[in-house]
């Protein structure tokens, strides 16, 4: 590599929680993406709900361009839209629903009025039950079902207001027998896989079965993240987490379909279950909402972000703040600052470990727990692991060690996917052939990437025989000396 083409020097982040930034009109140029990366964004979300596929190509290419610019793997999450339940149109464009009146949703395509409107989703007619709520326009209006058949749903208006054409509908009290993937989603998923994104986020997950078709269509070419945004998903949470590679706490939709006061304890439960089961967990939606318009957040928003970090979430996400707001750079900078400040708190480690992680009865889990304890006992500077699939890194991160995790992998795809994993600094590098090479390479990489300094000790994990996935069975403590960068590869 010539000097002119050499990557820009970029110090590793000491922050362990990851920052996931959504890209959009305010932030989708190559220059802005690079600026957000330098400001603290560890991964980027491409929202498939907005814009067409062709407009996403340049964005994805710009994110990948960071790898050449900064010499680090990049992480891309494509977020599928999912089914959108909407009412039909009104003859006058909008109507006022009066509290206490009767309002009917039916199958007729005729324009609606203050007494009725079309509901073009036959699945709801089959699933709905008397007493169930229907929420309109992000929960601003509330209807209670009193009667129904296969052609109409009769309701009483409990919370009235203005309702206009094609407003969204939420059905929080029943499982709607709809596939989580629409035709648009299937097309977007195929596009995202073709573009080589690292994660696919699936919306409208209600049951573990909802993940199966997406898993089949992805075909192992990306990791699958389940968005927990439906009350039905909470009832089968552990089964859903078992079937996916990562989890998102989608608090916006949860807050529409559930009373707001129920969302914080559910957030903690989802984070705890995901951590216990070794799945990266992202806390999302309205984290710094005021920064869409303001250059600084409210103190309540800062506290909200800090709470997610204290709970041990792998990643915290910006939505409209970085995608369409007036202050995208400041929003990422603030997320980065909150993460650094919380993790400098002497009580951070105790709070993160308030949730007890019991290792599974496997050699790899036992070694991951041992690596954390050894690193603490000998005051090691880092834990270094060699992995092909990323499973060893996930096991170590599950333990939330106090030191950085340097992940060395021969698979670029694995290095990219680890951008959502707590505390990891992934490096794409050649595999090793022997124990001696493993130790020497660990020390060189630790020095080169600023993870450790001469004179410090590191804890190394790997599997023997080498190049055998799932064979993690070695843990080794070594000290770095001053000339480790000789013969660097």
> With contact defined as beta carbons under 8 Å apart, do 288 and 330 qualify?
no
User: How far is the C-alpha of 107 from the C-alpha of 125, rounded, in Å?
Assistant: 9
Measuring CA to CA, how many Å separate 214 from each of 117, 159, 220, 240? 33, 37, 10, 13
* C-alpha 8: how far from chain center: 27
> Residue 217: which residues within 8 A CB-CB, separation 6 or more?
181, 186, 189, 190, 193
> With contact defined as beta carbons under 8 Å apart, do 134 and 167 qualify?
no
Based on the residue annotation, tell me whether 86 is a catalytic residue of this protein.
Answer: yes
Point out the catalytic residue in the list 22, 285, 333, 409: 285
Point out the catalytic residue in the list 86, 215, 269, 376: 86
- Our CA angle for 254, 258, 259, nearest 5°, is 125
Residue listed under structure tokens 């608090």: 251
Based on the residue annotation, tell me whether 478 is a catalytic residue of this protein.
Answer: no
User: How far is the C-alpha of 385 from the C-alpha of 438, rounded, in Å?
Assistant: 10
> With contact defined as beta carbons under 8 Å apart, do 363 and 473 qualify?
yes
User: How far is the C-alpha of 275 from the C-alpha of 281, rounded, in Å?
Assistant: 7
| Count helices and strands in the chain by DSSP H and E runs | 17, 21
Question: Which ranges of 219-258 would DSSP assign to H, the alpha helix?
Answer: 231-235, 237-243, 251-257
Residue 92 tokens, joined? 């006058």
What SS3 state is found at 181?
coil
Based on the residue annotation, tell me whether 22 is a catalytic residue of this protein.
Answer: no
User: How far is the C-alpha of 113 from the C-alpha of 94, rounded, in Å?
Assistant: 8
Residue 2 tokens, joined? 């010539």
DSSP state of 112: B
Q: Helix 328-344 and helix 299-310: axis angle, to 10°?
A: 50
Question: Which ranges of 48-98 would DSSP assign to H, the alpha helix?
Answer: 53-70
DSSP string, 192-229: HHHHT-SEEEE-S--STTHHHHHHHHHTTSSEEEEEE-
Based on the residue annotation, tell me whether 444 is a catalytic residue of this protein.
Answer: no
User: How far is the C-alpha of 462 from the C-alpha of 385, rounded, in Å?
Assistant: 6
Q: Looking at the annotation, which residues are catalytic?
A: 45, 86, 227, 285
């Amino acid at each position: 590599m010539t000097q002119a083409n050499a990557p820009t020097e970029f110090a590793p982040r000491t922050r362990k929680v990851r920052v996931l930034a959504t890209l959009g009109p305010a932030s989708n140029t190559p220059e802005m993406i690079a600026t957000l990366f330098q400001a603290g964004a560890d991964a980027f979300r491409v929202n498939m709900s907005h814009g067409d596929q062709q407009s996403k190509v340049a964005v994805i290419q710009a994110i990948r361009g960071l790898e050449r610019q900064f010499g680090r793997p990049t992480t891309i999450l494509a977020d599928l839209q999912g089914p959108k339940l909407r009412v039909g149109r009104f003859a006058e464009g909008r109507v006022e629903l009066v509290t206490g009146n009767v309002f009917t949703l039916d199958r007729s395509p005729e324009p609606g009025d203050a007494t009725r409107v079309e509901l073009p989703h036959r699945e709801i007619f089959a699933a709905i039950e008397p007493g169930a709520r229907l929420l309109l326009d992000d929960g601003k209006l509330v209807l209670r079902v009193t009667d129904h058949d296969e052609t109409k749903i009769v309701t009483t208006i409990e919370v009235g207001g203005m309702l206009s054409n094609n407003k969204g509908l939420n059905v929080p009290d029943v499982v709607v027998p709809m596939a989580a993937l629409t035709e648009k989603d299937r097309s977007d998923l195929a596009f995202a896989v073709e573009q080589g994104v690292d994660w696919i986020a699936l919306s409208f997950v209600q049951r573990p079965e909802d993940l199966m078709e997406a898993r089949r269509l992805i075909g192992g070419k990306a990791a699958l993240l389940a968005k927990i945004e439906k009350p039905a998903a909470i009832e089968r949470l552990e089964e859903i987490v078992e079937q996916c590679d990562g989890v998102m706490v989608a608090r916006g939709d949860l807050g529409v379909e559930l009373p707001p006061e129920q969302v914080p304890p559910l957030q903690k439960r989802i984070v705890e279950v995901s951590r216990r089961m070794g799945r990266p967990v992202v806390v999302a939606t309205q984290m710094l909402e005021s920064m869409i318009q303001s250059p600084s957040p409210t103190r309540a928003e800062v506290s909200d972000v800090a709470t997610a970090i204290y709970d041990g979430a792998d990643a915290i996400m910006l939505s409209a703040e970085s995608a369409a707001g007036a202050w995208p750079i400041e929003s990422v900078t603030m997320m980065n600052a909150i993460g650094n400040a919380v993790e400098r708190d002497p009580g951070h480690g105790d709070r993160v470990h308030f949730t007890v992680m019991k290792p599974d009865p496997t050699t790899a889990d036992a070694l991951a727990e041992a690596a954390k304890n050894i690193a603490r006992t000998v005051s090691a500077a880092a834990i270094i692991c060699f992995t092909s699939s990323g499973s060893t890194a996930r096991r170590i991160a599950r333990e939330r060690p106090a030191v950085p995790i340097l992940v060395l992998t021969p698979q670029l795809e694995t290095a990219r996917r680890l951008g959502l994993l707590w505390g990891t600094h992934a490096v794409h590098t050649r595999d090793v052939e022997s124990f001696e090479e493993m130790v020497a390479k660990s020390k060189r990489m630790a020095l080169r990437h600023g993870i450790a300094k001469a004179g410090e000790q590191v804890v190394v994990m790997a599997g023997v025989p080498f190049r055998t996935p799932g064979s993690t069975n070695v843990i080794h403590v070594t000290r770095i000396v001053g000339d480790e960068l000789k013969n660097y590869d």
